[in-house]
């Protein structure tokens, strides 16, 4: 599982808007879902990321999110939520076949912009 998003450093829980956040899997649980990039819906960009200094970043909002604490992952991704899951057979179990699991490997990448004067 590979998670990409621009995430600024913060010291408390807060939402971080992003048009570029997405969730990604090369080998989802259901092979018929195939490798897929789940992009944030444009109208939900304000709910793309939620960061908390104790539990790590979460993608999504409230009952439509993927959160992790170290390598423990909990997901409640919903078909009418923050990410475009059209064509995914079961969004809540997309990554591992269940909504809570221990990941072998989790990567979070921060993609930063460049300021040009």
Mean pLDDT of 39-57: 83
φ, ψ dihedrals at 43, nearest 5°: -75, -10
Could you identify the residue written with the tokens 């109208």?
43
CA angle at 107 for the pair 75 and 78, rounded to the nearest 5°: 20
With a cut of 90, say whether residue 116 has pLDDT above it.
no
For the chain, give every domain's residue range: 2-109
Residue 40: DSSP 8-state: B
User: Residue 101: is its pLDDT beyond 90?
Assistant: no
Beta carbons within 10 angstroms of residue 57's beta carbon: 18
- Would you state the pLDDT for residue 42? 93
């Amino acid at each position: 599982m590979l998670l990409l998003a621009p995430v600024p450093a913060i010291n408390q829980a807060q939402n971080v808007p992003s048009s570029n956040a997405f969730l990604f899997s090369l080998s989802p649980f259901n092979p018929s879902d195939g490798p897929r990039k789940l992009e944030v819906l444009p109208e939900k960009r304000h709910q793309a990321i939620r960061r908390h200094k104790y539990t790590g970043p979460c993608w999504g909002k409230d009952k439509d999110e993927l959160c992790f604490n170290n390598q423990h992952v909990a997901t409640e991704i919903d078909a009418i939520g923050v990410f475009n899951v059209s064509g995914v057979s079961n969004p809540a179990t997309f990554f591992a076949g269940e909504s809570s699991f221990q990941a072998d490997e989790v990567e979070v990448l921060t993609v930063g912009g460049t300021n040009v004067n």
